[in-house]
Structure 1
Amino acid sequence: MRFRHHPALRADFPALAAVTLFVDGVTADAGVDPAPWLDTARRRLATGAEGGLPEIQAWRRAFTAMGLRPTQYRCASESLLRRLRREGDLPSLHPLVDLCNAVSAAYAIPVAALDLDRITGDLEVRRATGTEPYATFAGDVEHPDPGEVVFADEAGRAHARRWTNRQSGHSAISARTRRAFIVAEALHDTATIDVTALRETLTAALHTTWPTATVTTAGP
């Protein structure tokens, strides 16, 4: 599978930096300790709310540019940090999801993890036509608004809505997942440096959690 951002989207958001990881050999019974990354996130939150972080501010500006209210539709990392600040912890869902969420919170950068076997062909971040089916976690099927930024595969299915706001239930990581695709995206001034550091952190953690797994990385 190849992953890319549509050239028109890159033209609209020239500061965009992204890294990807492909993991083969994921299991749901692995032990993972997200505490070190959550502690990093808590230390950052101790100096002020998540909305003041430069990584989050950049996404808020992007959401505003896309015609979305940034306090109604939050990027994934802002939602995680907001929950961590309010509740003191994040729920445990699956070792891969727990790991990605913790690293995302530590860096304040959205990280999406998708079941690679649930994606048809290549995956592109682009503006929607409005015809793409999108499966919610509740099992309902929605269609994005025309012009909304989505993750779309070659079958025309949307695997995320509003860019980094909401992933699809169709390709969510589950107990059956063995191969996963992970992408981290950032828009702030030091985005390239920070997503590269995030990639190295996550790669090391993946090797520790699944020693026999194959991890392939790319970008920026």
Structure 2
Amino acid sequence: MLSVLPSIDQHVVQLAPEFRALSIVVEAAPIANPDIGKDALARACQSVSAGGVLWAEAHLTAWADLFRAFGAKPQRTPCSAEALRKRVLRDGSLPSIDPVVDLYNAISIEYAVPVGGENVEAYVGLPRLSVADGSEPFDTMREGSAALEFPEPGEVIWRDDKGVTCRRWNWRQGVRTRLSADAKHMWFILESLPAMPLEALTEAGDKLIEGLQLMMPGVQIESVLIGPGAN
């Protein structure tokens, strides 16, 4: 089992002392039931359209306030969970992308929680949540072509030893570490603030794990809580 121990820079801790996350590491097995993700996504979209979880608005508002605290503009670059939720409320559904991506998007939508999915084998060193100085490279796509960007100084980023893996905390994922169902080693990070009950974060992680186990029988999974409430 590949070990992944994400770290959080002290400057980020000072910015959001109550931030907590569930880190889930997966050694994949062959996918036997690819429709698990698509079906979960459909159910999650229906749940949001029907009103969703009680803490959704408060949690997404807290993320918007946190984005403003490090200089981001959430109206233009919202947290990933809010971006997905807005699409569902506008369109009523989300298109299927990939069995694993569909599954973690479903968890994000249903629980109003940012969820990142990463191909661990593409990492150089371990993931860490830090404050950018503006020199860290970020590989992305622009108008259908590969492009290189750099974060704003002071921006909160996920990164490894090679560069940025996700900009503005959880707004946009990079291309290099992007996850698909073909990955052998996967890492998921479910990120929450106090407006989301801790038991709901745990429940969201359990549902992601259950979906992966149904999708790929024989999968190996390890989960650990990071931040306040962790043992």
| Separation (CA, whole Å) in 2 of partners of 1:3 and 1:99 | 22
Please name the residue that 1:7 is paired with: 10
Aligned partners of 1:106, 1:6: CA distance in 2, in Å? 29
Give the letter aligned to residue 212 of structure 1. Answer: G
- Tell me the residue number matched to 2:178: 172
2:90 aligns to what?
Answer: 86
Superposed, 1:114-193 pairs within 5 Å as 114-137=118-141, 138-155=145-162, 157-174=163-180, 176-193=182-199
Partners of 1:43 and 1:133 in 2: CA distance: 38
Deviation at 1:152, TM superposition (A): 1.1
**Shift in Å, 1:30:** 4.5
Asked if 1 retains the 8 angstrom alpha-carbon contact of 2:130 and 2:156, the reply is yes
One-letter amino acid of the structure 2 residue matched with residue 61 of structure 1 = D
Match of 2:215 in 1: 209
The alignment covers a number of residue pairs equal to 218
User: Any idea what the Cα deviations from partners look like across 1:125-153, whole Å, max 9, x if unmatched?
Assistant: 00011111111034211111111111111
Deviates more, 1:28-37 or 1:195-204: 28-37
2:39 is the alignment partner of 1:32: no
The alpha carbon displacement at 1:194 in A equals: 2.1
- Residue identity (%): 26
Cα deviation, residue 75, structure 1: 0.6
Query: CA offsets per residue over residues 12-60 of structure 1, 9 Å max, x none?
Result: 1122110011111155775133444543453344348x99711211111
Q: What does residue 69 of structure 2 align with?
A: 65
The 8 Å contact of residues 5 and 126 in structure 2, kept in 1 or not, is answered as: yes
1:118 positional shift: 0.6
Q: Structure 1 unaligned runs (5+)?
A: none
- TM-score w.r.t. the length of structure 1 is 0.90
Residue in structure 2 matched with residue 76 of structure 1 by the alignment: 80
1:17 to 1:41, Cα distance in 2 relative to 1, 3 A: farther
RMSD: 2.2
> Which runs of 5 or more residues in structure 2 are unaligned?
227-231
What is the identity, as a one-letter code, of the residue corresponding to 1:120? V
Select the residue among 195, 201, 220 that pairs with 1:195. 201
Q: Retained in 2: the 8 A contact 1:75–1:165? A: yes
C-alpha distance in structure 2 between counterparts of 1:174 and 1:60, whole Å: 28
1:133–1:143: 8 Å Cα contact kept in structure 2? yes
CA distance in 2, matches of 1:39, 1:175: 20
1:130 alignment partner, SS class: coil
